[in-house]
Chain A
Amino acid sequence: MGGQGTERRDILRYIGMAAIAGTFPGFSKWVFACPQGHSETTTASQSTGPYKPLFFSPQHYAMLEHIAEMIIPEDGTPGAKQAGVAEFIDFMVANRVPVSASHDIRSTEDAIEMGNGAQNRFIAGLDWMNARCNSEFGRSFMDCTPDQQNGLLEELAYKAKFKPTTESGRAFFQLMREYTVVGYYTTKIGLESLGYPGLRTVWPKMPGCTHPDDPEHANLREPVS
């Protein structure tokens, strides 16, 4: 940053505005492309028996699955549980793969740090949830009522409901949500919840602006070629 005079003021004015919208790598347009001539057998293997967690204890894994479903519930389209989000999280955390929905991880140092750090952050976060429930409600998270669970999650998710002393919980929630969102919207189920059509053949043309007759585009002319 640098500059002087009005130029610098302009920059500060704009930077004060809201944050950039991001996408995670793999949730860009290409995720939705349709296989054509690719065999279905290239699919990552689909397990038949119940999933055995690679990293999390059965207790933590159950919590993980439950919280993921609270973040992305079944509501006309399937939720996180049906999409196998907990399996995705377990697999990625076990393999120390960094996952982020909100920004593309470019720096290798960051990626390694994130991948390694995720194991501790998940365990500490799940334990924090239990400790919080114990001090607030006298029992662990999974034994709380749905209202209590939902109340706690909302305190971590919505700015308006933030409370002091829940900073670590909020940080965990962000992490959990990133993994959940990536884990859900990179599955076929997640994509179908957005209207993904599955296998399709070619698309013949690009439609462009969909309402050229709108008065807003009174002056719209096709660029001459």
Chain B
Amino acid sequence: MTRDVLQQKYDAIVVGSGATGGWAAKRLSEAGLKVALLEAGRSVTPKEFTEHLPSFKLKYRNHSPEVLRTRPIQKQCYACMEYNYEWFVNDLENPYSTPPDRPFTWQRLRILGGRSLVWGRQSYRLSDVDFKAASRDGYDVDWPFAYADLAPFYDIVERYVGISGAAEKDEMLPDGQFLPPMKMSCGEVRLREAIKAKFGRTLTIGRTAILTQPHNGRVPCHYCGPCERGCMTFSYFSSPFTTVKDALNTGNCTLITDAVVSHVDMDTSTNKTKGVTFINRTTKETKQVRGKAVILCAQALESTRILLNSSTPEYPNGLANSSGLLGHYLMDHVVGADASGTFVDMDELPTANPPHRPNGIYVVRYRNTPATGKHPHFIRGYGFQGGASPRFNTDAPGIGAEYKKAVKLGTYHVSLGAFGESLANFDNFCEIDPDLKDVWGIPALRISMAHGNNEAALMRDAGVTAAEMLEAAGAKDIHVRTGVEMPGMAIHEVGTARMGNNPKKSVLNAFCQSHDVHNLLVTDGSCFVSSACQNPTLTMMAITVRACDHLVERFRRNEV
């Protein structure tokens, strides 16, 4: 990179190029601000996408031992595989620690676009039942804004991203600006009808950031299936080919890849940030980039780590941490409850051919809602993702021609897996491990989190009610799990720099601005006050746009 790039003083420095960083770069540069967008990893090109490559063309047929060797933690995510594992961080270079009895799995990508390259794409709005949950059940605090404040920004994000889905008029899951929904399978229609009739619960097609018609210059999905290996037609939303591209097209945004940010730099005389220090990923040289505002979008734990590593004499426990809450209230949706079964009477055969719908179904939360009332055993609730389709039955018993036939005949499989709300708890936190550094010499995190009794109660209830719903639809061979998986498995980590109106009880204000340092923002999942039970990325993007628009206003009023 040229010296000029680093000598320029930017209006805003955005750290991270994923779902939220892409939006911040787009929104700020389109408003005319000069933006530096920093990404810790390399750039990405469509040439490395492998969504159409059959596994028999891979050396280990998608069983590469190299994945296990270099990504033993990342491998815990279904999306990390022989096809794409180089997009995920090398765990040997990027360590973190946990107490032995509190394991946590931290899934990370360092590449342009970050996790938006491999995300699950499910996109759901939160509702006022979520934003004002504390007012309803007395646990913890409400968010510092209401649904109506965020709704216009959900609209903006959805209109741009393209979310296919169906409106259901369910107060727990506000409808949005949808592209036409993908179609449900026969088994899913059966399940939808059965649970509406018997329980009054809503099952809808997944609301997903995948195009079902041409949209904003991108073409619709061609239903090949494995989005997590990339998409040559950019039909699912990932930031490099949408928001980041738009930002660069303004001419106002400078992309700096391979920039591993170690800390935020402070000007103590003005109590403002003056930029960030980063280490070049490959040369390991230390560099600075200067700007009038810093927006951290590195994902919750990574942004928090940067702040904890940015201590100054004025902020000895981490920058923007006068409240002492930075790193605390770490949440990740609780998973581990599911039910699966078979529709034995459905004779549709599995197929080795496309189309493969890269989307499932969603059962809207029905516990502790205004309609269902207070549950005796737990607060908050859970939603389900799942699906029903015929699949090849490699588990058929026996050998020989009989076995081959049974595989081909398949079974009509139906399943529901729960995502439950993770309660904000001060004792779930991350901090700097004094004895551990990554290969760039940056102090690493110690993450300490465990799900509690409420999460366990949610999963017990979820497993049982999932099985009841499958049974109501006539499924057989129902199998249930009601456990609690280790935190991090949902890959929905949020909450470590919570928003709030009281600077003593929160890290950020309602516009993601640090209470302590006014030209410092954190707009990724760190800012969440509660986790709700809906997939968080859509909300993170809407919050980012809201925060960035507010920042632009402050620039206009010359307050930055």
A interface residue numbers (CB < 8 A to B): 1-3, 7, 10-11, 14-15, 17-38, 42-44, 70-73, 75, 77, 88, 92, 95-99, 101-102, 104, 106-108, 111-112, 115, 153-154, 157-159, 177, 181-182, 185-188, 191, 193-197, 200, 202-212, 216-217, 219-220, 223-225
Contacts and interface: CB of A to CB of B under 8 A. Distances in A.
A39 to B, nearest CB: 10
Contacts of A194: 350, 352, 392, 407-408
A209 B370 CA distance: 33
13 contacts: A14-B463, A17-B480, A21-B477, A25-B78, A30-B55, A32-B225, A43-B57, A72-B400, A96-B65, A111-B68, A202-B224, A203-B354, A217-B189
A85 to B, nearest CB: 12
User: Most chain-B CB neighbours within 10 Å: which of A25, A104, A107, A206?
Assistant: A206
B355 to A, nearest CB: 4
Given A14-B463, A30-B226, A225-B180, 15 more contacts: A1-B482, A14-B464, A15-B479, A21-B413, A22-B395, A27-B394, A33-B354, A72-B400, A95-B65, A108-B72, A158-B397, A159-B397, A185-B394, A188-B56, A211-B186
B339 interface: yes
B351 interface: yes
Contact of A97 (B65, B223, B413): B65
Contact of A71 (B61, B352, B395, B400): B400
A115 B205 CA distance: 39
Interface residues of B, number: 93
A34 B224 contact: yes
Contact of B225 (A29, A115, A188, A219): A29
A73 B401 contact: yes
A3 B460 contact: yes
A44 B58 contact: yes
Interface stretch (B5-13, B129-137, B161-169, B509-517): B161-169
B63 A99 contact: yes
Contact of A186 (B51, B52, B55, B78): B55
B53 interface: yes
B352 A92 contact: no
In the A-B complex, the 5 residue pairs with the smallest Cβ-Cβ separation, listed nearest first, are A208-B183, A223-B166, A30-B226, A202-B222, A26-B62
Contacts of A21: 340, 342, 391, 393, 395, 411, 413, 477
Given A17-B477, A21-B342, A44-B57, A209 B356 contact: no
B139 interface: no
B289 interface: no
Interface in B168-183: 168, 178-183
Contacts of A15: 479-480
A88 B61 contact: yes
A33 B183 contact: no
A58 B506 CA distance: 69
Given A21-B411, A37-B232, A2 B460 contact: yes
B399 interface: yes
B407 A20 contact: no
B54 A32 contact: yes
Given A159-B397, A209-B184, A225-B181, A2 B456 contact: yes
Contacts of B98: none
User: Most chain-B CB neighbours within 10 Å: which of A37, A75, A203?
Assistant: A203
Nearest to B397: A158
Given A111-B68, A185-B394, A193 B167 contact: no
A223 B205 contact: yes
B141 interface: no
Nearest to B186: A209
A126 B339 CA distance: 38
B456 A206 contact: no
Contacts of A159: 397
A206 B182 contact: yes
B403 interface: yes
Given A197-B353, A225-B165, A31 B68 contact: no
B52 A25 contact: no
Interface in B39-89: 50-65, 68, 72-73, 75-76, 78, 81
Interface in B455-492: 456-457, 460-461, 463-464, 467, 477-483
B95 to A, nearest CB: 14
Contact of A32 (B188, B339, B353, B377): B353
A95 B69 CA distance: 12
B68 A108 contact: yes
B158 to A, nearest CB: 13
B222 A73 contact: no
B357 interface: yes
Contacts of A71: 399-400, 403
B311 interface: no
A33 B98 CA distance: 39
Given A18-B479, A220-B193, A225-B180, A193 B225 contact: no
A197 B356 CA distance: 14
B55 A14 contact: no
Contacts of A207: 183, 355
Interface in B307-362: 339-340, 342, 348, 350-357
Contacts of A216: 190
B404 A203 contact: no
User: Most chain-B CB neighbours within 10 Å: which of A3, A33, A88, A212?
Assistant: A33
A19 B355 contact: no
B204 interface: yes
A29 B392 CA distance: 10
Given A104-B78, A203-B223, A34 B184 contact: no
Nearest to A45: B59
A35 B394 contact: no
B229 interface: yes
Contacts of A187: 56
A24 to B, nearest CB: 7
A66 to B, nearest CB: 12
